[in-house]
Structure formats: C-alpha cells, structure tokens
C-alpha cells in the first residue's frame, strides 16, 4: 500500500498541495468518496467530532471513547523498563552473572552485530519514521470461546520522532481518530482527539514500537540484563528466548490507587541463524480496585508481535513490517471475557540524525503541564 503525505489543494488549483500532519494510507483515502472533492471534504469532516458511530468498524468498539482507549492500548503502549540509548550494552560483567544471564548478553552482542554493529548504532543521535497500520478486532466474548476478528479493517498511519537520550513523540491516525503520545525526558504521556492528556506513572519509558525491530539500540538496552530461558521455533526459525520480569518496586511505582499492576513480563525471540529479533511478547496483569466494595476485576493484556522484513538504512538493519496480536482478558465476579485485536504494520520511511530537530518537538500538552504545575 502507498502512503499519502500530500492532498491536492481543491480550493486553489494553482496553490500548493496540503501537507498532511500525519500521512495516511491511500486505501484509507480512496474509501472516503467517489471523487477527489468528496474525499477531501470527507477527510476534513473525519478529523472533527463525529455525529455517528459505526460499530461494524473501529475494532467493533461500542463508542468513540472505547475505540480511542483500544487504539492507545494497541498503538501507543510503553514498555515497563527504562533504556539507555547512548550506552545500550551497559550491564553487569559476564563474569558476575549466572549462565542464563551470560548467555543472554552473548545473544545481545550477536544481535547488535546483526543490526549493523556498534559503529553504525552509536552514530544515531535522532530518528524519524513514517509507517502505516491495518487493524481488525473481535467482539468481547464470554468464556473461552475462540476469538475471530470479524469487523471491517481500519487503516491508518503514524509518524514517530526520537532524539537522544530519551525524547520521543508519536502521532497515530486510524480511521480519522488521532492519538498522540510522547516523552520529554521527564514524563511520558498520551492524548487523543477527544480525551485530555494523561501522564504515565513512573520514570520516562520508551514506546513499545521502538523495541519491535525499529530501534536496535532500544532492543539491545532492554534485553541486556535479561535471562536466556530456552529455545523455541518461530515461523520455522529456531530462536533463543530472552525474558525480563518487572521487579516489585517498579510495579508499585507504575501502579495507581485504582489500578495495581500484579506482574509485567517481556520476552524476546532472537534467531539462532541471523541473530535478529523475530518475535516480541509482552504480558501484563492489572487488578482494578472497586470504589465501593472489595470486589476486584482483573485485566490481562497479552501481546505477540512477529517482526520481519529487515532492511538496511544508513548501515542499520531495521524491521520494516510485522504483525501484532493483542488479547485482552477481563475476569472477576465469576465471569471471563476475551477480546482480540490484530495489527499489521509497515514502515515506509526511516531517517537518522535529523537536522534541526528541536527539544520543543517533544513537549507535553499544555493541559498536562498545567496539571503538573498545580500538583
């Protein structure tokens, strides 16, 4: 699929084309009408408040707010660990580690070499990526019934900026709904077109998309203190499994009065043949506390992302596509509900060391800043 960065200037034929704030797939644009004028008018309407909601699309959500919540959960989640992009292999010495830990360090050394080596990775000071997504969801089903993604596909695009040491900013548009997320080095946050900015608890952490083959430094730093816990075949590729579990102190810091994170575990699957990351798993269990009674509801999020189509960009080996399946499970009060969302993603453009990329690009929303100042 091609991705659009410009739209024709229909108000003035001799005028310059309109630059889209977030590029979108051509397929999303062509479905908006039978001609250019109608498509452009519908897209402008789409970016504003909606008067109706079609539950056959939008991941089979029941409302705008539910769709935006799912979009944030699938499209803009954070990993539970801090990373060091400038010292991405910093960890305890191999001689002071267990066999499982020393094996993991050796695997990460092979991964760094497979992604272009220290010379190429250490030269990165900033990056920019443009990509597109296709999402499809299932209904929330009761019990252990098999989940099937039965709704219409939702198409979208995203722009991602990053600057050392820990600044990043994402804009994601899917079916006209926009989600923004970022980190200014002090606090990570997210925001949507109809919901105010929300600050994540705990220290600033990176977006999970970076660890899905997009930024090898993030992946290397993340798994530099992991344990090698076994082997498994992924798409007929024999892989080593590296695992990280969030410690109790970090879970406590990232929890809130209403939501307690019980555990958060990450696994990376690295090819024994190529050394590259082939799959990324993320599992999280949260206990939602009831405001009145002692009853609690548990939410488990299970993410499995297959990473593929590695290509070199300025000497750095980057994954350019993949498929992520997210399963949401809600249980408590004798009932269990499950929901599944599938996201297929492509990277259309990657550039490193962007000139003139200011720190102001990564500032949080004004309303979020005011909330911080009032506290």
Same domain assignment for residues 81 and 6: no
- Residue 286 within any structural domain of the chain: yes
Regarding whether 306 and 274 lie in a shared domain, the answer is yes
Instruction: State whether 35 and 178 are in the same domain.
Output: no
For residues 248 and 279, membership in a common domain is answered with yes
33 part of a folded domain: yes
Using CA atoms in the order 18, 22, 26, 31, what is the torsion angle rounded to 10 degrees?
A: -90
Residues 190, 153 share a domain: yes
**Residue 37 structure tokens:** 């004028």
338 vs 243, higher pLDDT: 243
In whole numbers, what is the pLDDT of the chain averaged over residues? 84
**Average pLDDT for 136-147:** 74
Is the distance from CB of 207 to CB of 78 less than 8 angstroms?
yes
Report yes or no on 121 lying in a domain: yes
Confidence at 371, pLDDT banded by 50, 70, 90: very low
Which one has a higher pLDDT value, 43 or 72? Answer: 72
Supply the pLDDT for residue 56: 47
Q: Clarify whether residues 20 and 153 are in a common domain.
A: no
Closest CA to 281 of 189, 211, 207: 211
How many domains does the chain fold into? 2
Average pLDDT over every residue of 26-42: 62
CA distance 273 to 278: 11
In this structure, the chain runs to a length of 375
Task: pLDDT band for 178, please (50, 70, 90 cuts).
Answer: confident
For residues 226 and 243, the answer to whether their CB atoms sit within 8 Å is yes
Of these ranges, 25-29, 231-235, 336-340, the one predicted with the greatest mean pLDDT is 231-235
Using only C-alpha atoms, what is the Rg of the chain? 21
Q: Are residues 11 and 90 in the same domain?
A: no
Determine, yes or no, domain membership for 267.
yes
List the structure tokens of 205. 């952490």
Structure tokens at 353: 């060391």
Verify that 226 and 193 share a domain, yes or no.
yes
Is the bond preceding residue 165 a cis peptide, omega within 30 degrees? yes
Which domain does 363 fall in, by range? 71-374
Residue 106 lies in a domain: yes
Please check whether residues 357 and 282 belong to one and the same domain: yes
Residue 60 lies in a domain: no
Note whether residue 244 is domain-resident: yes
Statement: residue 2 has pLDDT above 60: no
Q: Report the b/e string of 186-212 with b at 16+ CB within 10 A.
A: ebbbbbbbeeebebbebebbbbbbbbb
Q: Tens of pLDDT along 269-311? A: 999 999 999 999 999 999 988 766 677 889 999 999 999 999 9
Does some domain include residue 55?
no
Question: For residue 279, with 0-12 CB atoms within 10 Å meaning exposed, 13-18 middle and 19 or more buried, which class applies?
Answer: buried
Q: Are residues 44 and 76 located together in one domain of the fold? A: no
**Is the Cβ–Cβ distance between 78 and 200 less than 8 Å?**
yes
Q: Is residue 339 domain-shared with residue 190, that is, in the same domain?
A: yes
For residue 298, the number of C-alpha atoms closer than 13 Å in the C-beta half-sphere is 13
Span 123-149, average pLDDT: 83
- Considering the domain architecture, whether residues 139 and 248 belong to the same structural domain is answered as yes
């Amino acid at each position: 699929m091609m991705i659009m960065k410009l739209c024709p200037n229909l108000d003035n034929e001799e005028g310059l084309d309109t630059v889209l704030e977030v590029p979108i797939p051509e397929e999303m644009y062509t479905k908006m009408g039978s001609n250019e004028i109608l498509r452009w008018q519908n897209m402008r309407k789409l970016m504003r408040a909606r008067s109706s909601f079609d539950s056959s699309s939008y991941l089979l959500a029941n409302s705008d707010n539910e769709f935006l919540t799912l979009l944030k959960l699938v499209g803009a989640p954070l990993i539970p660990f801090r990373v060091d992009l400038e010292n991405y292999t910093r960890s305890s010495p191999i001689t002071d580690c267990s066999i499982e830990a020393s094996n993991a360090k050796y695997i990460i050394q092979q991964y760094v070499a497979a992604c272009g080596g220290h010379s190429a990775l250490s030269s990165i000071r900033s990056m920019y990526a443009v990509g597109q997504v296709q999402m499809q969801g299932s209904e929330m089903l009761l019990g252990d019934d098999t989940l099937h993604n039965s709704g219409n596909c939702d198409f979208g695009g995203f722009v991602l900026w990053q600057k050392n040491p820990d600044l990043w900013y994402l804009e994601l548009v899917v079916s006209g709904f926009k989600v923004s997320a970022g980190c200014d080095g002090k606090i990570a946050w997210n925001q949507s077109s109809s919901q105010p900015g929300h600050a994540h608890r705990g220290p600033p952490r990176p977006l999970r998309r970076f660890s899905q083959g997009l930024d090898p430094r993030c992946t290397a730093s993340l798994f530099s203190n992991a344990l090698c816990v076994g082997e498994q075949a992924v798409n007929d590729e024999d892989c080593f499994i590296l695992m990280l579990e969030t410690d109790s102190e970090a879970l406590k810091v990232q929890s809130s009065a209403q939501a307690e994170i019980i555990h958060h575990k990450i696994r990376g699957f690295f090819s024994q043949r190529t050394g590259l990351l082939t799959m990324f798993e993320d599992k999280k269990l949260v206990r939602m506390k009831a405001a009145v009674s002692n009853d609690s509801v548990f939410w488990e999020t299970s993410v499995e992302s297959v990473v593929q189509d590695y290509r070199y960009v300025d000497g750095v080996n980057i994954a350019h596509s993949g498929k992520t399946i997210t399963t949401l499970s809600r249980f408590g009060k004798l009932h269990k509900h499950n929901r599944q969302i599938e996201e297929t993603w492509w990277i259309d453009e990657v550039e490193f060391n962007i000139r003139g990329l200011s720190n102001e690009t990564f500032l949080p929303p004004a309303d979020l800043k005011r909330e911080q100042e009032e506290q």
